[in-house]
Copies of this chain bind each other. A is one copy, B any other.
Amino acid sequence: MTKRDIPGIVIGRLPIYLRAIQRMAQEGQRVTSSKELGERLGVSAAQIRKDLSQFGEFGKQGTGYNIKYLSEQLRRILNLDVVWDMAIVGAGDVGNALAHYQGFRDRGFQATMIFDNDSGKIGKKIGNLIVQDISEMSKAIQQASIKVAMVATPANHAQEVTDQLVEAGVKAILNYAPIQISVPEGVRVEYIDPATHLQKMSYYLK
């Protein structure tokens, strides 16, 4: 099943919009406009209206967008009306920080498993997870029907770990290893690599 053809760049902005309006909601605000939201995010009002119009009509002329309603709609569109269980692969510093991170739950995700291949770490507790042997990973992920994983291994293990995850049925991978990984059609990968962000900024630095 392929989604109706909405550009990936639009999909990528929806979580940004959602984050901003959820913050507005927290601050007690009830209504916003494409103008206000755009100013807060540094994007044009027209772009916000255009993006949202791909999915329906969520605003009212003259008044703008009801924050609670728009927030519900965005969460529905992004499939965030459920909480997705996640596996973490790698129990080093990054895996550790991810296991402790409190910010996922409110935003539709929770880490429920963490794996490593280091016998010194297996069985240890990190947050409320117990580090499992990576040799158990495939079985555990299949049994729990896990669809989302975060890879926090060294670069040289990222591809083999990815292959195992895909084999076990994972469909979305957030890769912290500083290397491009390849996956079959139908599996999504996003990358987090602080050094590439820093390097992009250092271009402007002198």
Q: Which residues of A contact B (CB under 8 A)?
A: 3, 11-12, 14-16, 18-20, 23, 40-42, 77-80, 84, 86, 93-94, 96-98, 100-101, 103-104, 107-109, 147-148, 150, 155, 171-172, 174, 178-180, 188, 190, 192-206
Cβ–Cβ contact A199 & B80, under 8 A: yes
Cβ–Cβ contact B190 & A197, under 8 A: yes
Q: Would you give 22 A-B contacts (Cβ < 8 Å), ordered by A?
A: A11-B203, A11-B204, A14-B203, A15-B196, A15-B200, A18-B199, A19-B178, A19-B179, A23-B179, A41-B180, A79-B206, A93-B97, A107-B199, A108-B195, A108-B199, A109-B195, A147-B205, A148-B201, A171-B204, A172-B201, A190-B197, A192-B197
A3 to B104, CA, bound (A): 38
Question: In the complex, what residues of B have CB within 8 A of residue A19's CB?
Answer: 178-179, 193, 195-196
A165 to B192, CA, bound (A): 24
Name A78's contact: one of B78, B148, B202 (CB within 8 Å).
B202
Cβ–Cβ contact B202 & A174, under 8 A: no
Cβ–Cβ contact B97 & A180, under 8 A: no
Shortest distance from the beta carbon of A85 to any chain B beta carbon, whole Å: 12
Cβ–Cβ contact B180 & A197, under 8 A: no
Name A14's contact: one of B42, B107, B199 (CB within 8 Å).
B199
Question: In the complex, what residues of B have CB within 8 A of residue A195's CB?
Answer: 15, 19, 103-104, 107-109
Shortest distance from the beta carbon of A18 to any chain B beta carbon, whole Å: 7
A199 to B109, CA, bound (A): 9
Cβ–Cβ contact B196 & A108, under 8 A: no
A19 to B20, CA, bound (A): 32
A153 to B125, CA, bound (A): 24
Question: In the complex, what residues of B have CB within 8 A of residue A97's CB?
Answer: 93-94, 96-97
